[in-house]
Amino acid sequence: MLEIRGLSTRYGASHVLFDVDLTVGEGETVALVGRNGAGKTTTLQSVMGMGGIVRTGSIRVGGVETIGMPAYRIARLGVGLVPEGRRVFGELTVEENLRAAVGIGRRAGSHGKGEHGESAWPLERVFEVLPVLAEVRGSKGAWLSGGEQQILAIARALMTGPKLLLLDEPSEGLAPRLVETLVEQLAAVHRAGVAMLLAEQHAGVVRELAGRVHVLERGVVRMSKGEPG
Ligand code: ATP
């Protein structure tokens, strides 16, 4: 699903990632761990092709080379990013937040379809996989707990029908009970067949969800553990 080889990433003059190799198989969950500033966010942004960064090396998604591609085209290959810090619309209900995610995609001309024909998830499928959200579907984003907001951010990414989800520290700032709910819901996303690359510092979350772990240290993969799943 994702094959990164010899990736180097720079922000202008600042060189952040050095010769990173990393793979995520179809439907597999892989964790990227490391201290603050190790380069986890930069790795996810490199895969997504975010603006302002220069990438060299190879990043293949479903066998397609994405170096040089803009983010919207990488998204259409079936990649979804759940950025750090939730960013839900507080004034919109859960359901409206989800509809807005696909609506915005449509206005951009994607019609909810990826380049390889995968469809956006229907709202009801999202609620089926993430039942915690179904219970609060009429509530405004601002009223949700931190955990529910995080799950809403994940659901919003699922609406576009990704094959690979990139998650940036989803457990950050959540109380332990909410982390447990998050883990349950991410396990359900895994069972639904979506591959995940999970940047995460919470050891419990990594242990519960990831078959393989890559340790990043100052922009270099220092260690990789586990068998390809
Ligand atoms: P955190 O958990 O704090 O987000 P991280 O492992 O995700 O840490 P990154 O955010 O990828 O790390 O940052 C890696 C390095 O890149 C850091 O040294 C950071 O200062 C640098 N960096 C990040 N964003 C930029 C930017 N826009 N311009 C220049 N340097 C940046």
What predicted TM-score, i.e. pTM, was given to this entire model?
0.89
Express each pLDDT in 38-76 by its tens digit.
Answer: 999 999 999 999 888 899 999 999 999 999 999 999 999
Q: For residue 119, is pLDDT > 90?
A: no
**What is the model's pLDDT at position 177?**
86
Q: For residue 133, is pLDDT > 70?
A: yes
Q: How many angstroms does the Cα of residue 127 sit away from the middle of ligand 1?
A: 34
**What is the model's pLDDT at position 210?**
95
Q: How many angstroms does the Cα of residue 212 sit away from the middle of ligand 1?
A: 23
How would you classify the pairing of strands 164-168 and 212-217?
A: unpaired
Question: Which helix H or strand E contains 221, and what residues bound it?
Answer: strand 220-225
pLDDT above 90 as % of the chain: 69
Express each pLDDT in 32-44 by its tens digit.
Answer: 999 999 999 999 9
Contact 192, 127 (CB under 8 A): no
Is 39 touching ligand 1 by the criterion CB < 6 Å? Answer: yes
> Whose CA is closest to atom 20 on ligand 1?
37
Listing DSSP states for 165-177 in one string gives EEEE-TTTT--HH
Q: How many angstroms does the Cα of residue 135 sit away from the middle of ligand 1?
A: 36
Is 193 touching ligand 1 by the criterion CB < 6 Å? Answer: no
